[in-house]
Structures are given as structure tokens and as C-alpha cells.
Chains A and B, each alone.
Chain A
Amino acid sequence: MTQELRRREDRKTGQVREAIRNELAADARADGALAQEEAAEARPVIEMQGVTLSFDQPILEDVSLVAREGETIVIVGESGTGKSTALKLILRLLVPERGRVLIDGEDITHLSFEEALKVRQKMGMVFQGAALFDSLTVFENVAYPLREHTDMSEDEIEKRVREKLQFVDLEPDEVVDKLPSELSGGMRKRVGIARGMANDPEIMLYDEPTSGLDPLTTGTITRLIMKLQRELGVTSIVVSHDIRSVFRMATRVALLHERHIVFSGTPEEMAAAEDSYIRDFLGGL
């Protein structure tokens, strides 16, 4: 009797998973198909070639990944598998023991610290906790990269800051004078995105952009990332745990498991994959 109940339960769970998979795949097809076709022809912007890195223990081994112009690649995987480390390697905050990281065809592995700072100006980064400068107002946060790296006048800076805040669906007049501590989690993330894109970078990197947010705000942030790709053609790498968002925004998904990329493909390919680990992973989420 108990076994019969368990069998029914398993069947039901299987059906639910199948339905979710189909829904996600449909979402991904609708949102990503066009971008994939375009991306297939585009030049590579970010390349990781056979990257190996270890601290006390190995973190990444022989990891290769290519992000072409305009693509949004989402790196998924269990906690502690080195997803954020991959972002730090792209930013050259870390240097791989073996392998190369190329940005726009330039090997950044052997750059000096000062040279790496220049390469980073091509990138915008959105941190898990937004990492806004807590002693600066929202305006000063978004204006920071402009004041630091451009000769723009204060009027131009103000115009650009307002433009970016509007892009991330924030009302400039309401937030510019606020400190980060006065904002909600979702607003902080949006200001983080505005700051990341203030310099009009060609690459955007997101570390868990939707973690700790309610479903509605998660949807807003996901739409923003897609809008950035669609309207500005920004190449993005996203580290995320939120599988629904992953399938909506990704042109390709890379799954990190035990130091290796064990799957790299379109969201549909991932949803249709028969591999037991991938199925467990999707089910687990």
C-alpha cells in the first residue's frame, strides 16, 4: 500500500518536473531563439581557454567558455563550484594557474595591475549584494565611473546618471540623494546595474543578480538584464541559481560541476538533456 502511494507520488513529481521543463524550454525558445542565431555569427568577446585555478584545493580545471558579442551566458552549478571565481578570472581579479582568459582577443592573463584596471573599464559588474559605496549617495555611486574615467562635465554626468537610473526603472528625483542604506534590496540591485552600465561597457557580469529577492523583483531584474542585451547588445555573463530566470535570459547555459563545465548549450538543450546529473540539478532547483 505504502509502495503504491510512493509510486503514485513519484509519477506525480515526474509529471510536474516535465511540465516545468516544457514551460521553461518554451520560455527560452520564445526569448532566446533570435539572439542565438545572431550570436552564432558574432565575434568572441570573452574567452576562457583551458583555465585551471586552485587555492588550497582545486577550484576550476581545464575550463573553456566563449561568450560571443551580444550573448548572455548563464553559469549555473551547485554552491562552491567556482561560478563566482570564473567571474573574478574574467575581471582579472584572479589569475589562472594554467590557461588563458581573453577579452576582445587580448590575453589578460599576463597584464600588469594597471593594465588590468584599463581592461576592466570595458566591463560592468553587478555584485550579489550590489556592493554600492555606502558612504556615497545613489547619484555619486552611478556617477563614480564617469568621474573616474571620463572628462565629462558635471551637466553631462547628471544627464547620464538620470538616463541610466530611468533605464533601470528608477525615478531619478526620488533616489538620487538617497544613501544605499535607505533603499530596498531590489532598488540597490537596480542602482548596481545602473552603476555597472554607466560607462556603456560592452560586457556586463552579474553575480547572483536575483538572489535574496522576492519573485516580482526577481522578474524585474531578469527583464532588465534581457533589456540590456536586447537594446544595447551588451555581452553578459550571469551567475545565477534562479532556474526560471536562467531559462528566460540565457542564450546559452554552462553548468559547472566538480571543477569542470559538464554542460554547455542552449536552455532548450539543457531542458531536454537526459544526463542524470543535469536532470537532478534542474529538479533540485
Chain B
Amino acid sequence: MSELILRLNAQAKSSILSIQEYFTLAWNSLRFIFARPFYFQDVIQQMDEIGVKSLGIVLLTGLFTGMVLALQSSVQLQTFGATMYIGRLVAGSMIRELGPVLAGLMVAGRVGSGIAAQLGSMKVTEQIDALNTLGTDPIKKLATPRVLAALIMMPVLTIINDLVGIIGGNIIARFMVGLPTSLYWRTVWEQIMSGGFTMAVVPNDFVQGLTKPLVFGAIISITACYFGLRTTGGTEGVGQSTTKTVVTSSILILVVDYFLTQLLLSILQAP
């Protein structure tokens, strides 16, 4: 019995320590954005890696999500004779929820696993130790550029995802439901305007739709760096870090999305 308690105690301590290390890494990664030396070239390279190279997967995800949303909603709305509101439904869903979440999940799978594998390989081949011995802080050199690049590129990817999703919805609305394009876009606009404004200028839907990818970008990059930099046990360890990164960041995205939505809804009051 006492052995069980001791084991539980050790497990609890280890979990708390892991959480502490995660947040320390998060804090340092963000703090170093404003500290010299600045690794601009690394940030640009990571922006290309995280943003430009994820474009294909995000475009496909956005297009088909928008199309399927339009298809499903057209069936439902037809019952009430309200197919003209397809645009409103697609835009609302894409901008507020599906755009950020799906882009986040896609990037977690593609970029998160890549970062974890790269940093994990560097860890097991002593390249991280080499950085340390050469007087470079590995967090500043490796984690901060990735976190900053993710913070910049995730909102950009999400905007593209939203836009392509809405265009996908337009294609279905036009060619399968027969809704005129102008009417579709008018309802999209109505949806954006109806959610109210922050500081009388920025539509609340945009605030919601752009706050989320910012948070998801941080979650993906920090989780990937965390597991990558903690990798032990050779190539098998690299594989485990990659898997843990994708699973943990996907779960965190979904959980944080719920709480963030609730928070944003309570802050951003509709008129």
C-alpha cells in the first residue's frame, strides 16, 4: 500500500514538474522574442516551413470543409425554404470555428510533428548540447524562431483557410443549389456585420477567428519544442516525441478552443 502511495506521489511530482517545464519553456520562448540576439533568418526560414509549405494542405482542407458545410446546410435549410442563408452559415462556421480549428489540427499534424522530429534528432545526436557548449541558448536559437513564426503564420493560414472555405461553399451554393453568387456573398457579409464590432471597427467574428489561431500557433509550436527538446532514447525516442506532439497539441487545441470560445463570447457582446 505504502509502495503504491510512494509511486503515486512520484508520478504526481513528475507530472507537476512536466507542466512547470512546459510553461517555463513557453515563457522563455515568448520572452526571447524581444531579447538579443535576434535570429531573423531562422524566423524567415521557419515562416516558410510552417506557413508557405502548409499552404497546400490548408487550401485543400478549407475548400472541402466549405463545400461539405454548404452541402449539408443546403439540405437542412431547404426544409425551411431558407437556402439563401447558406452563405451566412458557411461564413459563420468557417470564420469562428472550423477555419481556426481545422487549420490548427492540420498544422499540428504537419508542422508540429516536423518540429518535434527535428529537435528530437538534434537532441539525441548531441547537437543541442553542442549549441549549449558553444554558448548559445537552444531555446532562443531553436524554440523562439519557431514559436514566433507559428504566431505569425497561423493567423495567415487561417484567413486563407476561411476564404477558401467560403469560396468552396459558394461553388456548391451556385452549382448544386442554384443560389446566385451575389446573394451568397451578401449573406456572408451580413453574417460578418451581424456579430457586432470591437472598438466599433473590427467585426467580432474576425476578433474571434484571429485570436484562436494565435493561441493555437503558440500551442503547436511550444508543444512540439517541448517534446522535441526532451527527447531521449535514440530514434525510437524521436518517434515517440513526434506522436506525443501531435496527440497533445490536437487535444489541447480542441479543449482550449472550447474555453476560448466561451471567454470570447462573454467578452465580445453582440449588439
Q: Is B1's beta carbon under 8 Å from chain A?
A: no
Please give 14 more A-B residue pairs, beta carbons under 8 A apart, in addition to A113-B137, A133-B127, A148-B136. A88-B129, A91-B133, A117-B137, A120-B135, A123-B133, A125-B129, A125-B133, A131-B125, A132-B127, A133-B122, A133-B130, A134-B127, A144-B134, A205-B133
What per-residue 1/0 map shows which CB atoms of A131-162 lie under 8 Å from chain B?
Answer: 11110000000001100110000000000000
Q: Which of A113, A120, A131, A148 contacts B127 (CB 8 A)?
A: A131
Q: Is A129's beta carbon under 8 Å from chain B?
A: yes
Q: Is B126's beta carbon under 8 Å from chain A?
A: yes
Q: Which residues of A contact B127 (CB under 8 A)?
A: 131-134
Q: Is B132's beta carbon under 8 Å from chain A?
A: yes
- Interface extent on A, as a size class? 20 to 34
Q: How far is the CA of A93 from the CA of B133 in the complex (A)?
A: 8
| Residues of A in contact with B (beta carbons under 8 Å apart) | 88, 91, 93, 113-114, 117-118, 120-121, 123-125, 127-129, 131-134, 144-145, 148-149, 195, 205
Q: How far is the CA of A93 from the CA of B137 in the complex (A)?
A: 12
Q: How far is the CA of A110 from the CA of B62 in the complex (A)?
A: 52
Q: Which residues of B contact A132 (CB under 8 A)?
A: 127, 130
Q: How far is the CA of A117 from the CA of B134 in the complex (A)?
A: 8
Q: Which residues of B contact A145 (CB under 8 A)?
A: 134-135
B125 near A120 (CB under 8 angstroms)? no
A117 near B130 (CB under 8 angstroms)? no
Q: Which of A114, A121, A131 contacts B130 (CB 8 A)?
A: A131
Q: Which of A129, A195, A205 contacts B126 (CB 8 A)?
A: A129
Q: Which residues of B contact A118 (CB under 8 A)?
A: 135
Quote the shortest CB–CB distance from B1 to chain A (angstroms).
23
B126 near A131 (CB under 8 angstroms)? yes
Q: Among residues 110 to 164 in chain B, which have CB atoms less than 8 Å away from a CB atom of chain A?
A: 121-122, 125-127, 129-130, 132-137
- Find the A residue at minimum CB distance from B28: A113
- Find the B residue at minimum CB distance from A125: B133
User: Which of A117, A144, A145 has the most C-beta atoms of chain B within 10 angstroms of its own C-beta?
Assistant: A117
B129 near A120 (CB under 8 angstroms)? no
Q: What are 30 A-B contacts defined by CB distance under 8 Å? A: A88-B129, A91-B132, A91-B133, A113-B137, A117-B132, A117-B135, A117-B136, A118-B135, A120-B132, A120-B133, A120-B134, A120-B135, A125-B130, A127-B129, A127-B130, A128-B126, A131-B125, A131-B129, A131-B130, A132-B127, A132-B130, A133-B127, A134-B125, A134-B127, A144-B134, A145-B134, A148-B37, A148-B134, A195-B134, A205-B133
- Find the A residue at minimum CB distance from B45: A135
Q: How far is the CA of A118 from the CA of B137 in the complex (A)?
A: 11
- Find the B residue at minimum CB distance from A93: B132
Q: Which residues of B contact A123 (CB under 8 A)?
A: 133
Q: Which residues of B contact A114 (CB under 8 A)?
A: 137
User: Which of B132, B134, B136 has the most C-beta atoms of chain A within 10 angstroms of its own C-beta?
Assistant: B134
- Find the A residue at minimum CB distance from B35: A114
Q: Which residues of A contact B37 (CB under 8 A)?
A: 148
Quote the shortest CB–CB distance from A162 to chain B (angstroms).
19
Q: How far is the CA of A124 from the CA of B132 in the complex (A)?
A: 11
Q: Which residues of B contact A125 (CB under 8 A)?
A: 129-130, 133-134
- Find the B residue at minimum CB distance from A88: B129
Q: Which residues of B contact A149 (CB under 8 A)?
A: 135
